[in-house]
């Protein structure tokens, strides 16, 4: 039964009042997290003056925080703007790896979405809200999806009543206090404000507890319906996450969604729970001193020496504590955290105290674990970044260093063409002029050859190979031999084979599994550099840029599919 409403008023008042910060809390870490939250709420980009206004911090403090975050690779400073960078997702990745649910259950969710031809999501509870940890969406003109990490109010979702069946009186008091203070839910930017329609949440929670499933009948917005079923932790019997099938009223009513799809959902959830039982014991190694990033102290020291007071060591070290968690490291003691980060125990302890005060860490019996709130640090906007947007700033830096055009392309189509998906051109009287979306034959381009080389020995080539200039290589055997050398050397250089006077050099971009998914090149008129200069001067810069793109792609693609590949 739910707690008596009349006894909750004083508890609600207490729940709505923010607790004072502990005396040992690290103030710079608290301020840095505030900056990350405001950037997240602004969809990843905010001017420095806008950050000053949004956080209430002094401009000098904002400048120091953003300089520190930029040094860590978490933020990119673009003129007067601060922009969240994909590497920040390593904080949310630490939480997702620690709970292991996406790794174990996403294939089941994807298979269910394919079978039902409807969107399927997995969500976890976050106090009086929910956050998505996996989305398997259907590609339609009217798509239904939320970003991974988005926070939604429990009362406006299907999963919410299922999580609320396990709330204690303090949880209900917190929920009532929030509803009183924010009746339209304006504190949840992922959903449109809406008030006065959720007075039956407690009754829906009772029903969810009795029947073992819940419906969302256009609670989030008109037209959206969902049916939700809990996935229970085999160790405790508590709700580990909730699986939902989401549709639109043009395809289903809430009742038809329940009657048609609920039986198959229950079968899929049973499979998920069997997966959790089978993987209950992790084979990942426990944290130890040998895995500690021993260079952390040296790195922060060098950063402090280079940037002076603009670099805030306590902020950098505090955020590093979050990344000490992960698969096989879901629950850590203070000693574990100190070993995993290379920080002094006292430093790690103050960071944990701060993170617990802010709700990013929970503790019991001297053991710490991350909470879903960590996903609120940049993950929602960054989880939507496609590969071209990940690559764009690195292409701009590359072009600025070599003073020539830089491009990213994919291999596509039955004719094995390349398609340009990102590009930065130079301002020259004579420059390479290719627009986004342009397709060119892969066999005659440097971009295409580094991608075709990854397909050896079964390289799909058109027959016959059409000569585009007098220099185009059209002998199939010779081209395959050249591709072998490209794969060995790790780059391709094409001189006048696509167009007279056009010289380009390219390197591959690999995903987490080492598969070539794209390529980056620099193109120029042949009068700009000799072939030898392309190799000695441009190739090293190309490899640096590709390495940076790959680094961010590995972080961004750890728990989601990166679009544009």
Indicate the length of the chain as a whole number. 565
> What is the pLDDT, as a whole number, of residue 251?
87
The model's pLDDT over 149-161, given as tens digits with 9 standing for 90+, comes to: 999 999 999 999 9
Is the predicted pLDDT of residue 18 greater than 80, yes or no? no
Nearest to residue 10, comparing CAs of 186, 172, 203?
172
Q: Measuring CA to CA, which residue among 31, 82, 140, 48 is closest to residue 381? A: 82
Inter-residue contact 36 to 28 (CB < 8 Å): no
Tell me which long-range contacts 384-388 makes (C-beta under 8 A, separation of at least 24).
384/147, 384/563, 385/86, 385/556, 385/562, 386/562, 386/563, 386/564, 387/421, 387/422, 387/517, 387/518, 387/553, 387/562, 387/563, 387/564, 387/565, 388/421, 388/422, 388/564
Confidence at 197, pLDDT banded by 50, 70, 90: low
Tell me the whole-structure pTM to 2 decimals.
Answer: 0.91
Q: What is the pLDDT of residue 521?
A: 98
pLDDT category of residue 249 using cuts at 50, 70 and 90? confident
Is the pLDDT reported for residue 175 higher than 80?
yes
Interhelix angle 345-358/334-341, nearest 10 degrees: 110
Task: Report whether pLDDT(6) > 70.
Answer: no
- Please provide the DSSP assignment of 492-548 as one string: EEEESSSSTTEEEEEEEEE-TTS-EEEEEEEEEETTT--HHHIIIIIHHHHHHHHHH
Residue 146 has pLDDT above 90, yes or no: no
Cβ 321 vs Cβ 338: under 8 Å: no
Angstrom distance (rounded) from CA 340 to CA 331 = 12
What pLDDT does residue 297 have? 63
Q: Which two tokens stand for residue 564?
A: 């544009």
Q: Which residues contact 434 (CB under 8 A, 6 or more apart)?
A: 405, 407, 420, 423, 523
What tokens does 119 get?
């969107």
Over residues 523-550, the pLDDT tens digits come to: 999 989 999 999 999 999 999 999 999 9
Over range 398-424, report the average pLDDT.
92
**% of the chain surpassing 90 pLDDT:** 75
Q: Tell me: the pLDDT tens digits for 288-309?
A: 434 444 466 677 777 877 888 8
* CA angle, 397 then 403 then 405, to 5°: 80
Name the nearest CA neighbour of 26 among 336, 361, 308, 283.
361
Is the pLDDT at 4 greater than 50, yes or no?
no
């Amino acid at each position: 039964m739910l707690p008596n409403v009349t006894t909750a008023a004083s508890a609600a008042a207490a729940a709505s009042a923010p607790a004072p910060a502990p005396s040992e809390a690290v103030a710079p870490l608290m301020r840095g997290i505030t900056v990350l939250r405001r950037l997240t709420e602004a969809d990843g980009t905010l001017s420095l003056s806008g950050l000053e206004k949004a956080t209430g911090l002094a401009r000098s403090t904002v400048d120091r925080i953003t300089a520190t975050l930029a040094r860590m690779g978490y933020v990119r400073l673009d003129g007067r703007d601060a922009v969240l960078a994909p590497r920040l997702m390593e904080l949310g990745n630490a939480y997702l790896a620690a709970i292991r649910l996406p790794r174990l259950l996403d294939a089941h969710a994807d298979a269910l979405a394919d079978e039902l031809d409807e969107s399927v999501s997995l969500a976890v509870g976050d106090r009086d809200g929910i956050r998505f940890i996996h989305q398997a969406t259907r590609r339609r003109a009217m798509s239904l999806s939320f970003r991974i990490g988005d926070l939604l109010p429990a009362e406006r979702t299907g999963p919410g009543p299922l999580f609320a069946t396990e709330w204690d009186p303090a949880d209900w008091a917190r929920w009532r206090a929030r509803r009183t203070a924010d009746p339209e839910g304006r504190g949840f930017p992922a959903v449109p404000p809406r008030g006065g329609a959720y007075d039956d949440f407690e009754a829906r929670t009772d029903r969810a507890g009795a029947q073992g499933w819940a419906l969302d009948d256009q609670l989030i917005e008109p037209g959206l319906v969902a049916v939700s079923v809990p996935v229970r932790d085999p160790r405790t019997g508590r709700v580990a996450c909730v699986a939902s099938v989401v549709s639109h009223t043009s395809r289903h009513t809430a009742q038809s969604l329940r009657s048609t799809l609920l039986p198959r959902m229950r079968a899929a959830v049973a499979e998920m729970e069997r997966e959790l039982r089978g993987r209950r014991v992790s084979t990942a190694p426990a944290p130890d001193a040998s895995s500690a990033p021993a260079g952390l102290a040296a790195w922060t020291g060098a950063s402090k020496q280079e940037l002076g007071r603009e670099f805030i060591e306590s902020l950098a070290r505090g955020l590093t504590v979050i990344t000490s968690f992960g698969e096989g490291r879901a629950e850590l003691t203070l000693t574990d955290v100190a070993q995993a980060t290379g920080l002094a125990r006292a430093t790690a302890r103050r960071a944990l105290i701060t993170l617990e005060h802010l709700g990013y860490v929970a503790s019991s019996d001297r053991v710490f674990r991350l909470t879903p709130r960590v996903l609120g640090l940049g993950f929602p906007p960054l989880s939507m970044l496609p590969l071209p947007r990940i690559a764009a700033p690195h292409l701009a830096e590359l072009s600025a260093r070599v003073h020539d055009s830089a491009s990213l392309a994919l291999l596509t189509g039955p004719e094995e063409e390349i398609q340009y998906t990102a590009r930065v051109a130079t301002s020259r009287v004579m420059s390479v002029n290719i627009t986004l979306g342009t397709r060119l034959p892969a066999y005659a381009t440097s971009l295409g050859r580094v991608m075709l080389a990854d397909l050896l020995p079964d390289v799909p080539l058109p027959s016959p190979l059409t000569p585009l200039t007098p220099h185009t290589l059209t002998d199939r055997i010779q081209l395959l031999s050249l591709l072998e050398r490209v794969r060995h050397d790790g780059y391709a250089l094409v001189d006048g084979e696509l167009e007279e006077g056009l010289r380009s050099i390219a390197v591959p971009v690999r995903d987490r599994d080492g598969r070539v998914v794209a390529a980056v090149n620099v193109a120029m008129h042949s009068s700009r550099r000799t072939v030898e200069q392309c190799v000695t001067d441009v190739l090293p810069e190309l490899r640096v840029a590709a390495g940076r793109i790959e680094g961010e792609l590995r972080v961004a693609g750890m728990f989601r599919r990166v679009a544009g590949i």
